[in-house]
Structure formats: C-alpha cells, structure tokens
Structure 1
C-alpha cells in the first residue's frame, strides 16, 4: 500500500535535503547535541550550544523502521499500514489550566510561529537509536500562546483514535488501550530541547513518523514521543503515561535515558544504531549515554532526585 503523503511544506519554508546534509553549520563538536540550520528562511535561528557530530540516519531508514503501535507492532508495519490515515485537516486542542484554551488548525499553528520554526538534529534512543533531522518548534512557543496558570505543573498529551484508519486500534490487532497518552512536567516541556515536530529533513512529517505533529524529547526513551497528537492539557496532577499504565514495573513516567538502570528484561547500557551495519544483527552497538548525551543541558531538571527510583 502506498503511504499517504500530506501536503509538502511550501518550498519557501524548507531547507532542501541536499543543502541540509552539506551545511557546515550542522557539523558540531559535541556528540549527542543539537544543530540548527543557519541559511536564511523561516527555519533560521541564531547559533546555539546544542550541536551534534553524529552522522544523520538516512531518510529511508527513518521512514521505514518505526514504532507506532496504532499501525502495528512490527517495525515495518507503520510504513505499510498507514496509507489510509488522513493527517489533514487536523485540529489540536490545547486547554486545561490555561488562560486561553484554544483549538488550533495545524497549518495555522505552524505558520503562526515562523520565528520558532527550526531544524533540529537529535539522537533518539530506544533499544536502538537514530539521528533524526527534525523540523519543529519548542513546546514553550505553543504554551506561551495559551498562557498556563500558576497551578499548572504538568503537560498531558493524547493521540488520535481512528480505528477505521489505524489497524492497530481495532479488533484482534489491538496491542494496548487507546488513546495513547503521555506527559511531561511543565519545566521539562518548557526546556528548549523539548519540541513538537512537524517534519524531517525539511519535509512534511509522514504518517508512519507521527504526522502531522508529534512530541520529541531527546533525553528520554523513544516511547515518550507520542505521535499524531490531538489534545494537550495542562494539569496540576501527574498525568497517565500509556506504557507506565501497561507495565509500571518496566516503564516509568520520566523515562530518562539511563544506562545504569536496566529494563527488567534487558540491559540498557548499550544501543544499536540503525543503518550502520556492523555485525551479525546489522547494527553497530555503542555505549548509551546518560540523558542520551544531553546531561549538561537537562540534568539540572532532576537535581536531588533518585533517578533509579524515578525512572
């Protein structure tokens, strides 16, 4: 089945893939960081301290090896089974403990924050890892629009439920309760590395990658990256998290990358980089870094916390 491709971003608003891959500004000195494209466009932004020297994962690998259980549990299921999913039109409801609850049309939302729109290059880790050139904007840019109340302490996310378009949500194929839900502390959501992604490699996000808008928090394990978000709610209490509800002894709310804390069924001390064939199982293994290499930027968020207990 041919995957549905949503409308491409206007050519004036993207960085061509060949320019993106060759741009000198994407070559950084610190492994596991962030880079921002610097060519004049709505994605342009001042240089930051977040850079990465890792080679980006290929577009083909990023779009064909995915976890998106709404379309199936196999890594190739999302690309094969998401062709009927319609990512446009799309509405994102933001409310809860805010002064200005708002329902945004996705394209209006993206165009309303052009100065925040950027290209980020981030490492993302599960038991395997990728380096993905995300297109997106900081969650804080959206939160500023709705003005969180002083009582708000958490940000809850909810994905779409469309069993007629998402085979993993219907019948015998269901693998977990729906909708998929996730959450962050408000200070985590306001960190500049926490983004809402709307594309990769300067192109509109494909269905299998979470179109039209998904969460990316690069210092956490990949299951925190809820996809196809329809609702964001500011709350005072810690919101539920799907994998934590399903298996609380295996998946915590925080999900910070920590090589010193093993999953009950496997070690998390190493990861396999997708697309770097090297060995029997087709991927180079490397040491996993605390907070996925972003410790300098985010460790302060968890000062004084026992990270083995609050996993």
Structure 2
C-alpha cells in the first residue's frame, strides 16, 4: 500500500491510503538497481540477509502435523513469507517489516483476556505455548491487494484459549488489540491508522476451528516481521483481519471498531470475507497472484469463495455478503 505523505502538519486522510502493489515492487526494483553493488551484493540484499540471519537461532516448535488442515498446494518459500509483509507498525512498503522489525522485543510478553468473561486472565508467552497441543496447519493467506501465499503456520484453535476464560452469555464479539510502541515500532509515529491496531470477529467466527491462534511458522517461532510473538490467522478472510503482535483480547457485547474500517469503511468492511463476487471499490477481487509463482504483472489464479474454506459458509446463512462485506 502506498501512503501519500503530506508536507504540512495535517493528518493523512484515509482516502489517501492507496494500495499500489505494482508501484511498490517497481520502486523497490529501481532502488535495488540504483544502489549498485558492494562486493557483488546490493545494499538492499545485505539488509535482507541481515534480517533473515536473525532467525537462524530461532526457537524451534514441536508441532503435530494436522492432515485436516493441509493443502495439496506448493508452500510459499520461507524467504517470501518473511520478506513480503504488511505490518504498518514497521513501515508501509512490503520489505520494510523484514528490515525494521528487529527492534521488536518479544520477551517478556503477555496477553490479557478480558471483557465479557467469567475469568479475566493474563498469560505469558510460555503459558500460551503450553495451553494446547501445537499443530502445523498449511493455510492459504489472501491479501485484499490481490496477492496470496500458502504458509505452514503453527498454533492451535483460538477456541482453546477462549474456552479457558468462560465467555458470558453477553459475549457476541471478540476484539484483538495489537502492541503500539513507538520506541519499538517506527511506523506508529505516522498517522497512517489510528493506533493501536485493532481487529474483531463475531463470536462464532472466533470459535470456529479454523481460526488459529498462531505462534510460529515453518517449524519456528514467528519472525518479528510476521507478527511475533503471537498473532491471529483467519484463513477465509483477507489478511488484514489476522491481527499481529496481540497484547489484549477483549470479549464484547457490541461490534468492536476495527482499524481499517475506521480508516475507510467504504473499502474495508467489518467482515472482509474473501469473496470474488464483491470487488474492492478500486479493483477486482476475482483473481489473485501467488507470491513466488505467478508473474510480476499477471494474476493467474481465480479467487475462491471464502478463500476455498467452504466449511465456514454456514456461519453466513441468510446474510447478504455484498452488504456485509
């Protein structure tokens, strides 16, 4: 996504937050060419290698492969998964998080679960890792900008955590609040969105077995740029619904405000289900480009309803999915 930066003190209007994936990739290509090479290696490549090297001693996670959540599709490479990210807290270009997220300190880390629950709890990272058996699940990830990946995530169903706090009868929604620390996250200093980043699900969506409380990928703890140390993955929704670096989970009676919906409700609905029949106001959602496989300028794959996860269709029976986009 491209952010137009104003030269005066006025905040950036949501209407100026314009995703332009192709422009960004072209700009980075020109930058790499312009930088030239240092001992045969461009400065951009050096920064990328440094970012990847930080994961060389990452904690390994023992996870059981769950065949119920595997795809007969080629997995996106670790390099692409960890170098092509949306994580605005560390910059608006796709390569920014891999370069800038080394400043994020993931230990100690706690998540507070509060709101419409019988048991308010605060759990540290080690407690989260032990709360339920870790599973490897290979999910498609579809971005609203038109690109997709296939990622081997590690975690367990969010429902395992929510059941521990015993939701009350008033719990209709689940709100997720991400860390917003301008000392660790350079992007928080810019008025791109209202910070902290917030997202939300309806209670039945949050309790669905597919909704993954995610602690790792590719057999390791989450890299910082991918939402460390704990994030959400909701595979039938566009990627921005999968909140990263979560510090608070709040069960609520009313539908929570979510960051992109607040920024531009016309373009980013609360539900944000992957739906090829509902176009983004500025581009089609009928096709997508698989990172690492499809051509730079071409979209070669038809987008699947619910990103191919048709088992969630029953959650929306009777709803107009063009109205509740």
TM-score when normalising by structure 1: 0.84
1:175 CA drift (Å): 1.4
Question: Given the superposition, is the C-alpha separation of residues 150 and 165 from structure 1 closer, same or farther in structure 2, using an over 3 Å criterion?
Answer: same
Match of 1:73 in 2: 92
Of the three residues 132, 138, 159, the one matched with 1:121 is 138
Counterpart Cα distance in 2 of 1:176 and 1:191: 29
Alignment equivalent of 1:109, drawn from 128, 150, 153:
128
Partner of 2:25: none
Q: Is the 8 A contact 1:5 1:207 kept in 2?
A: no
Which of 184, 190, 205 pairs up with 2:222?
205
- The number of equivalent residue pairs is 273
Q: CA deviation at 1:45?
A: 6.4
Which deviations, in whole Å up to 9, do the C-alpha atoms of 1:33-84 show, x marking residues without a partner?
Answer: xxxxxxxxxx336643x43111000000000000000001000000011111
Partner of 2:199: 182
Deviations 1:115-159 (A, max 9, x none): 3x1000000101100000000111001001111011111100000
Q: CA deviation at 1:308?
A: 0.1
CA distance in 1, matches of 2:291, 2:304: 17
Q: Could you say which residue in structure 2 is the equivalent of 1:44?
A: 64
Work out whether 1:298 is the aligned partner of 2:312. Answer: yes
**Contact 1:6/1:204 (8 A) holds in 2:** no
CA distance in 2, matches of 1:109, 1:169: 26
Contact 1:6/1:87 (<8 A) preserved: no
The match for 2:290 is 273
Match of 2:270 in 1: 253
Residue ranges of structure 1 left out of the alignment (5+ in a row): 15-42
SS in 2 for 1:133: strand
Does the 8 A contact of 2:131 with 2:161 survive in 1? no
Aligned-partner SS, 2:102: coil
Does 1:307 find its partner at 2:321? yes
Deviations 1:101-123 (A, max 9, x none): 1000011221132x3x1000000
Partner of 2:23: none
Q: For the residues of structure 2 that align with 1:92 and 1:213, how far apart are their CA atoms?
A: 9
Could you tell me whether the CA contact under 8 Å between 1:92 and 1:232 is conserved in 2? Answer: yes
Are 1:264 and 2:281 counterparts? yes
8 Å CA contact retained: 2:82, 2:226: yes
The residue aligned with 1:34 is: none
Q: Is 1:9–2:59 an aligned residue pair?
A: yes
The answer for unaligned runs of 5 or more in structure 2 is 1-46
Q: Distance in 1 between matches of 2:55 and 2:84?
A: 17
Instruction: Give yes or no for contact 2:65–2:137 (8 Å, CA) kept in 1.
Output: no
Superposition CA RMSD, Å: 1.6
Instruction: Say whether the 8 Å CA contact 2:135–2:156 is kept in structure 1.
Output: yes
> Is the CA contact (8 Å cut-off) linking 1:154 and 1:239 kept in structure 2?
yes
Equivalent position to 2:76, from 51, 57, 60: 57
Q: Which has the larger radius of gyration?
A: 2
Alignment-derived partner of residue 109 in structure 2:
90
